[in-house]
Structure 1
Amino acid sequence: MSDYVLKTSNLTKQFKKQVALNKVNLSIKKGSIYGFIGQNGAGKSTFIRIITGLAGPTSGSIELFGHSFGQGLIKARKRIGTIIEGPALYPHMTAAENLEAHRLLKGIPGKECVERTLTIVGLRDTRKKKAKNFSLGMKQRLGIAIALLGDPEFLILDEPINGLDPMGVVEIRELLKKLNQEYGKTILISSHLLSELHLLATHYGIIHKGNLLEQLTVDELNAKCQQFLHIKVNNPEKAATIIETTLSMSDFEVMPDGSIRLFDYVDTPGKVSSILVNEGLVIEQLMPIGQDLESYFMNRIGGTHRG
């Protein structure tokens, strides 16, 4: 059995002269939360529509649960739950009535899945309250409940936290963590809100103007964004000894060019500078270097970041 729920090979979508997706090779491991990140118009929604069968590719291929064509791919798509461009709700129905209507539309046998799903998303106690009177966060949870009908293995959520207030964002984040960790759901989350995704995702894909620029794990991302003091002095060997003895630090690297990366004292470079000068070293460069997560993504797509 494949370790991946989804793989694409050179997936391309072109609308007349506009290329919406350009030879995208993306893979999502089973059990992961994949943050699919890009600006509005980057190609995220087009990609999702192709994966879910709502649109066809111009060229390239899709592999879902090991199936890439014919009936196998059609059956594999039944193992997906989705929210695309907002949940489709019946405003004058309760949460339970909404789920029952969607259960019948999807041909899912047995009413017991309605109560079970409402419990999972925390909407069992809404009783006779109509969906039109729900908060935006409650509507989003109801949308996720609809996507969960039929117990799918793979959830694809297009901008599930967009427009939510801070409390709604926290509720959706905790719900998605629970679905992943307790219920074993693999989740693809499309979003341009990196500040929230980095609290949730285990893997990332960066898409820009239809091109998949990079895929990386959260550990790889954090390593690339790690901040450090960049130190260049006239005697790097002596500086390394001072850092290790006087500062009692072992978390540093001496680079091939003789510069030193010190992964501490980033917020207090003056203390490091003072000690090195007192020991007779000439400081050529001493500065904090590194990026926060948002800066990394903005730089990766060639944009600028403003704090």
Structure 2
Amino acid sequence: MNEVEIITAGKERKEASRRELQKLRQAARAKYDGMQASIMSACQRHIAIIAAEQARVDQQYAHLRGWSRSAPQRQKKHSGSFREAVATGFDILARGAEAKCLEGYASGSTVKPVPGRMNFTFYTYWGWIREAINTLEPNPVSSRLKDLLAELAAAKGIFSRKGGAELRRKAGLKGLHELAAELHISHSSLRTIAVRLGLTDASSRRAQSHCFDRTAVSQLKDVLDDLISRREAARLVNLSLAGFDEFCFRRSIQPLIRLKGRSPSADQFRRSELAAAIARDGSHGACRAT
């Protein structure tokens, strides 16, 4: 592209962005125009609309990326939920029911830690409110919302590392980093194992989104005790490293842990899986005692 084409393309992108923002403003104003008994003045309402728009369109807010054209698959999967969440958020900013809504959310059981995903619902549906109220001019609505978010952080460990640890402790759960340190394994390897075992969700890479109950911890410890290196695995089946690779290929055996950027010698296999493969075909003799 020459210089003129680059400038023209930049202008077209800027114009498309302006049109998209205008559509958002029109939709937001239509939403507000249909409301009654608003506790906001026209000026405050306009500020709330702009703040909410910024939270919706800014790509740095991962919990709202479902609106992004660059992520059409996620938009298709979550668009209904996001629309409902943002619409409810508009109601909170515009009406006097914001206190009841969030107070009920704080005291209710809607958000609670579960093995695998913790507080995901809150981050997805309500996280943008924290960003939006920071841009609002001081008024009873924004002040009360800030107070309520602080109460939520204390009650449910939301927006707070300390709060999350306390919440996990009360629920008898262990966080990803906490458990990784206890098991003397990197948190990335622990997450990989947990995903392979179905103990956590592969779609979330937020460390605080992963927590494990006692049953999951016990299962992870058993698996770690069962892991051996590639060289040990080759000795276990009485084969050279090259022969072991062929052995695994023919039986669709894959390492449980394969670290990116590391040589194949760092791969970790499950001893029990290899023993089961030997028992099935009996072609390589019995496993060696360890």
> Structure 1-normalised TM-score?
0.27
**For the pair shown, which has the larger CA radius of gyration, 1 or 2?**
2
> Structure 2-normalised TM-score?
0.28
| Higher helix proportion (structure 1 or 2) | 2
| Higher strand proportion (structure 1 or 2) | 1
Higher relative contact order (CA 8 A, sep 6+): 1
